[in-house]
Structure 1
């Protein structure tokens, strides 16, 4: 359960949690076992005493049946149904108080204790069938055995006498306690022993986890090799496979970062070396007194160009870092793609005019609410900016660069296209141009080689689809279009469309 401040609760010990889940049922079952043992012990203790009590009631019934002659029924109330010696023997139990009762054919008390309750029978009376019940005599709880007796010589008669024998529960309670003690007391030794054995078994069972932890902790920070799955239990193998997958992805990511940093350092080295060389050259000319204003202007112009290339490289590196930031890419919102494309074209118009390139936008109006995509606005702007920048770099003077945003006929995607009339990209290089720092050979264009790599990363972050083809049809051999211009390059990106709320 989350804590009050919103933070997740601290995870406890796995060993302790498993131990709790094993011992909690055990400690819950133990009192239930005691209660069941007590009930079973009561049944066991009552069975022999019920048998003895039933035999006593039957013997008393036989004596009562023999004592009741057919001719003396009218005088039965004036005689004892049980001889004084037998009555004295019946009450000779030193542990419990014994009660008996004999009721005549008319329900009159012939002998015994009048306080013993009479049973309430709903079923038909069967002579000589012994029944048992729990009852009370005064404040004493008793166990009663009773039966209906048919006097001798009255076999065909439906009139019966009732004989009851009852005793208190002292002997039964003592036997029940002895049985419970015999069963429960050993459990006080067995239960702690069971807890100890469970603890030892768990400690032995999780020892492979401790070994795995030791192996991981002993690794060097640079060791991203897979963990041996053969030396771990089957239950932990999926976790180890997940860790190995993470290590593989970390290794790949770190390798890419190392390669990227090495390439970035190499690329930055050239403009920085140019800056240093030009500064040292002009310093020597000044020291020698040979520095003319024209030479100083040329040196300063070269320094400005080198610093501009370095600044452009740094900006591209920052854009690449933003494109690879997964957390930033997750912060998406409905974005008007046409509006961002038009703003980007407007920003590049001065540069296009300087290079005498016809830069324009061709597509739907920016107020068309249908052309919205779920995207990160900053990254989407970087994507269009790099595509336009790349097109202006490779398009010669007099060429055309067009940015286009259209909707597909089925309304499932929004299409962004940036095309130019430059030399184009050969089919053999179309996979390579999206690699960082790759530049087409023989183009004579100075660039960082990061623009299309940034585009590829942003496209992947937004689950879009990127295709590259020619703007015009190439000649069979010359690589130019039929009108003499270059075949150009056309980048087409299809973003999943998102439904916008109606106004």
Structure 2
């Protein structure tokens, strides 16, 4: 299967990083080999050229050469036959020589041979080498200054230069380069092939892992076996296993949640159908009394209200579990939301003859804010107040309280009631979806407190449940009221920007 556009191959990435340095180093190796070969090829020929220059210098400085030059008016030196034969013995390269007298005049040889650089020190009998040109042809020059015999103390010297073209040197350099570079043309492709095979062998466990994962059923969320994978891939496999475990738990929770939701929705929907069929049967049989029809319609309205409330709670639960939705946070005035929620529930509390009140700073007096999602925080408060009103009997009290830390560290929300309370053994279970305390006839969805806990966890808030009035053995509750329940949520807080100092 071809890789998607823009997708990078791990095999190709590693191969590039291994071959790119190799291909970059190869031309550098060729250049260095050429330079080294030039030095190696030049050394023996430099020694030979230096011996020729030194031999010529010894002949020039000898008394016999000086006597011969004197007889000829020092116009030139006559080379000995063996010296001339030595200079012309090379059939491959052209050899040039030059002898300059004590005053720099040409005594013998080629006049076109250039002079040495002016900055070279004049040290008698010290041999020097340089690269130069004669008639646009590159040559290697060996030269030295000589003192004629009998003039050892004099500062005057004669210059002797011998030069040759670079034919032999070039051929030897090429032979050395061929001997070194040509095997590399065989070794380099072989090295690339070996690297390719080694990478293919190293990537094979990843291909096997990919095959094992692809062959799995979509419902198989069991951990991947970590014993048959390379050590370098083990952290990735462990991370995948952790993801699979969390995904399995999430799917199991969703299945359980959907099963409970379907079970809970069956009751109001069945009531709707029963009451509708009963009313239709009464009408068909001609026994429909206005009072009976009104009662059936009231039951239908009540069942539809329960179903709507259940759906709303399910949507609220989905919003609370939505990580991306909960991540969009802003500064929230907890006191402001609490006051608005209490106002919304006042008519319902009045109908049930429950004293619903608020304690805490007013909206303008609040000095702290919390960082959270306003809709979710409002949903949390609404569910706590709704739960308190459901379980508080007529004549009871429900109090919503906001307590602000004077040090500006936390902002605390409390909702307490005077209802029957929650037994200590059930305090963890009441936060489970669709759980209802035993012995109560309250008509609720069983999702309110589960939503509260989910929202609290999304906001890293601490949620606790205790009694409003702790039970004491043998002590009767006043006015038939229960110990009550108090839900406390502690949010991290910070001062409001416009709060008064």
| TM-score, normalised by the number of residues in structure 2 | 0.91
CA apart distance, 1:159: 4.2
Give the equivalent residue in structure 2 for 1:205: 202
Q: CA RMSD in A?
A: 2.5
Deviations 1:189-237 (A, max 9, x none): 3323322222222222211111111111100000000001111111111
Aligned counterpart, 1:115: 112
Determine the structure 2 residue equivalent to 1:40. Answer: 36
Q: Which residue of 2 aligns with 1:3?
A: none
TM-score (norm 1): 0.91
Residues 1:143 and 2:144 are matched in the alignment: no
Give, in angstroms, the shift of residue 73 of structure 1.
7.6
Equivalent of 1:493, from 474, 489, 495?
489
SS at match of 2:394: coil
Q: 8 Å contact 1:352–1:392 — kept in the other structure?
A: yes
- Answer whether contact 2:460 2:491 (CA < 8 A) is retained: yes
Give the alignment partner of residue 184 of structure 1, picking from 177, 181, 185: 181
Structure 1 stretch 116-125 or stretch 401-410: which is displaced more? 116-125
Paired residue for 1:131, among 128, 131, 140? 128
Give 3-state SS (helix, strand or coil) of 2:232's partner. coil
- Would the aligned equivalents of 1:473 and 1:481 in 2 still touch at CA under 8 Å? no
Q: How far does the alpha carbon of each residue in 1:58-102 deviate from its partner, in whole angstroms, 9 at most, with x for none?
A: 222222222556777866724415235633541342322211122
The structure 1 residue matched to 2:14, chosen from 13, 18, 23, is 18
Q: Structure 2: how far apart are the matches of 1:340 and 1:154?
A: 117
User: C-alpha displacement at 1:427, in angstroms?
Assistant: 2.0
Paired residues of 2:368 and 2:411 also in contact (CA < 8 A):
yes
Q: Residues 69 and 98 of structure 1: is their aligned pair in 2 closer, same or farther, counting only changes over 3 Å?
A: closer
2:253 equivalent to 1:276: no
Instruction: Show CA shifts across 1:125-171 (max 9, x none).
Output: 44433221112223222111122333345555554332221112222
Task: Give the alignment partner of residue 436 of structure 1, picking from 419, 433, 436.
Answer: 433
Quote the Cα distance in structure 2 between the aligned partners of 1:468 and 1:184.
84
State which of 452, 456, 463 in structure 2 corresponds to 1:459.
456
Aligned residues of 1:91 and 1:99 also touching (Cα < 8 A): no
Match status 1:55 vs 2:59: no
Number of equivalent positions: 495
Distance 1:101 1:172 in 2: 22
CA distance in 1: counterparts of 2:46 and 2:67, whole angstroms: 35
What are the within-5 Å matches in structure 2 for residues 165-180 of structure 1? 165-180=162-177
In 2, Cα distance between equivalents of 1:94 and 1:467? 108
Who is 2:96 aligned against? Answer: 99
Query: Could you tell me whether the CA contact under 8 Å between 1:475 and 1:481 is conserved in 2?
Result: no
Q: CA deviation at 1:295?
A: 2.9
Structure 2: runs of 5+ lacking an equivalent? none
- The aligned counterpart of 1:318 is 315
1:366-377 correspondence to structure 2 within 5 Å? 366-368=363-365, 370-377=367-374
Gaps of 5+ in 1: 1-7
- Aligned partner of residue 471 in structure 1, secondary structure: coil
Q: Which residue of 1 aligns with 2:23?
A: 27
Q: 2:298 aligns with which of 283, 298, 301?
A: 301
